[in-house]
Amino acid sequence: MSIEIAENEITFEWEERDDSTPYLIHMIAGSFAGISEHCSMLPIDTIKTHMQVKKSNPGFINTLRSLQSNIGFLGLWKGASIQALGCVPAHAAYFSIYEHAKSIMNLNDGNQHFILFGLTGALATCIHDIIITPFDVLKQRQQLTRQKINFILKNMIKQEGLFSLFRSVPVTMMINLPSAATIVCVNESLKIMYKPQNGHSFWSYLACASFAGSAAACVTIPLDVIKTKLQTQSIQKNLVSMRSKDEVKQIKLEVVDKKSQLISSFARNYQSSQDMAQSSGIKYRNILQTIQSIYLEEGLRGFVKGVTPRMLQQAPSAAISWTVYETVSYTHLRAHETPEHLVCRLLLEKKK
């Protein structure tokens, strides 16, 4: 928090954190941010999930039309309750750790700390991912079926074991570490580089976070596809069985056409892993084997499926999350501002 009064220039920097702010406030602000972000963007996430689990590539519009006819408009919010249940503690931990890291590293000085900004985001997302991954697994499976959460959870543990709730934690971290680092780094840097003369407003925060979210989405889409495969595989069996004979024939032809020695060896390893997977009932066992499966069955295009809904989801998600967080934090600062701060803010508002 800084106040400068010099030569008739008044600046009230409410966006700079006061290190004395209780961490409970950061946790409450983070919880509001998480619920606002995930619940508002869930329809886009539902479309992305359906696009990524199918071996064909129907496209964003066709997938939306299919879902509208099959589950209706409200069906796009399937999984909202379990998502909200997970994102409250996950985002509370994320933003409180983020603020604590910024305080320890002395990053609240208004200067550029490009690498350290990214590091704070990466540190915060580690605990966030461990908390939210089991909830995200259940959410995605509910998005693909009409089953209730308790039935999905019971079947998962019976068929795949308790570990299935955490199988995607490594790839989730592989996605979210660079994603969170990119979002925080770009967002914080833009706020410093393009700070308006009279301080940031709601819309400037929205713009900075939205741009940061778009950048993160482009960086992490292949890993997001892998994560979806790992998290939804028992549900995918029913979807795969619905493929047409032409699709199955096309997949086989694509595999046969790969004539190089490297690809042949790759295919043999893939077949061996598939035989093992069939005997255990688990198709996607780890990250490398999932990469093999996607490449041989869908080609390189399989790694960018869902990029459109991911960008449509990630940009506003980051914008909503960070703007809500800043707004709730600002509300707390306004409620506890000193008389000197109040005078400066009122003079600044009058000047505007």
**What's the mean pLDDT in 99-122?**
87
Q: What is the rounded distance in angstroms from the CA atom of residue 166 to the CA atom of residue 130?
A: 8
If pLDDT is split at 50, 70 and 90, which confidence band does 239 have?
A: low
Q: Kindly tell me if the per-residue pLDDT of 129 is higher than 90.
A: yes
pTM listed for this prediction: 0.69
Computed over every residue of the chain, the mean pLDDT equals 78
Q: Using alpha carbons only, give the angle 148, 153, 154 rounded to the nearest 5 degrees.
A: 100
If pLDDT is split at 50, 70 and 90, which confidence band does 37 have?
A: confident
Residue 315 C-alpha from the chain's centroid = 10
Q: Record the tokens describing residue 201, joined without a space.
A: 């407003």
DSSP state of 16: S
pLDDT in tens, 181-202: 999 999 988 888 887 766 677 7
DSSP assignment of 240-288:
HTT--HHHHHHHHHHHHT--SHHHHHHHHHHHHHHHHHHHHT-S--SHH
What pLDDT score does 192 carry?
85
